[in-house]
Every structure is written in C-alpha cells, then in structure tokens.
Structure 1
Amino acid sequence: MVVLLCGLNDVKRASPWRTPIGFRHDLAELVGEIQGSCGAETTVVLPALPLHLAPVFSGQWPLLPLLSSFAGLWDEQKKRLSEREPPRICFVRSVEADSDLAAQNVEAAYWADDGIHPNDAGYKLWGEHIGRGVMRHLEERQGGLPSRPREVA
C-alpha cells in the first residue's frame, strides 16, 4: 500500500493549460508507475487535502473559499480516478466528512509555524483519518478486512 499526498502544488501552478483533468491524467500515470514498481496489486491511497483547515488561510475572505473550491477540483480528480479502478485506488474523503476528526476541533496546535503544513500532532491526526478511510475501503471493496493466512498442519 502506498499513500500519495499530492495536489496542492498543482493547484498553485494552475493555469489555463493546467486543468484538473490534466492533473488526473498525470496522476493516473504516476499511479501506474507506482504499481509497475511495487506490483499491480498495490493499493494507492489518495487522500483529499485539508487545505480549508490551514490557519494561514483562516479568515482570509475570499481567498479561503476560493482556494478550497479550487483544491476541491483536484480532489475530485482523485475521487474519479479511484472510481475507475476501485480495488487498486482508494480515495480518502476530506477531513470534514469524518465526524470523528471534526469533533477534534482541528486548531492551530496541529499546524507547523508556516500555517500550511501539519506538525507531528497534525500528521498523526490526519494519518488516523487516512487509516479509517483505508479501513472503509477494504471493507467496501474487498468484502471485509483481509484475514491472516492460516498455517496448515
């Protein structure tokens, strides 16, 4: 299993020639390269980015809604790619869709000094969210969690 965090720098470099669909095409190629190197059965996890929670954008209207919407277009491409190959690609929905994490009241204490990257505690919280998303994926797509192989006597 490979967890691939991507999209924000693509949003920053967006132009009329760099479209969300172009991002999806490039992402599909990257996923193919990962699976080519690690094995065709490798699951690639594509989490949505919690850009809307970053303190650097807090209260920055219209910047925050604009960036959140724009980043959502890129996250939508991850979701569409996962729908195309559901057993091998797992999209983990955005943080606000996870009520357990929303209840944590994500605050500045989870962010690095730059206000855009999570700190260790933030990555731990986000990693737990991604882990729950992977568990849901395994349960939905593979008919339950993989069992451990039994030893044959």
Structure 2
Amino acid sequence: MAQIHEFFARVDWTGARKGATTDYKTYSRDYDILIDGRSTIKGSAAPPFLGTDDRYNPEDLLLASLSACHMLSYLALCARKRIKVTAYHDDAWGKMEMKDGGLRFTEVILKPFVTIEADGDLEKAKTLHEDAHGICFIANSVNFPVRNEASVMFAK
C-alpha cells in the first residue's frame, strides 16, 4: 500500500447569497462541501456559533469522522481475525470547552455496540477495539483523547 494518500474537498460559502458579512450576528454560515463524484454535504456553523440546526456542522463531522474511522478499523480487524460482526452502531459523544485560551475539543468517547455471531470469540471481539483505536487514522491525528466504551454481545 502506498504510504502517501491525498484527499481533496471543496468548500463553498453559499451564505453569500443571503448577503455579505456586514454584521457578525446576522451573516449566513451556510456552506456546501463538494467532493468529486459524491453528494453535496450541506453545512453550517453549530447553533451556539450562530449557525442552523438543519445542516451538518464541523463539530458533528469531526465526531462522525472519529466514529466512522474506528468502526472501519474495527470491522477490518474483525474480518482478518474471522470474527463475524452482524451489527454495529456507535453513540459517540464529544465535549468542547475553553482550554489554553481557546474553545476546543477536550475529549471524545466512542460507545460502539457490536453484535457478533454466536460461535465467535467474544473476548477477542472486545480487545480488537483497542487495536482498532491504535490504527484509526483520524484518532491518531487529533490532539485530544479519544476513548472507547465498547459493548460486544452475541447475536440471538
């Protein structure tokens, strides 16, 4: 596998259609994320930062990226170890607060809930979450702790 991977995204501020940035409290924070060949993601600032709650915001997307990266890393490890995952969901949580003079994420907790086939190795399925965390590209790229509180159970 190549050791360098490049990714490209275009972000267009669509809020300009509603007027210029003449006042901090009233300009539109709406934007589109465009990646060739994919559906457009409609974004805005989070409501506490004067955006709207009907669009994705950067904080949502960061949390979702951490969750998705962990899930994909975990599923890959399970496939390699022949652990048959039949369901997976994560109720991820993140906290932002003032630190070192600025507002920033200070922690994220991933709460994956995994179901494996009844003949699987439950203990191995649990420990693979630690391994997945170690290889998750996104978790290894942020400067705050990303913890896991995983649950694994057998399918019924």
Instruction: Normalising by structure 1, report the TM-score.
Output: 0.28
Larger Rg: 2
Which has the bigger relative contact order, CA under 8 A and spacing at least 6?
1
TM-score, structure 2 length as denominator?
0.27
Structure with more strand by fraction: 2
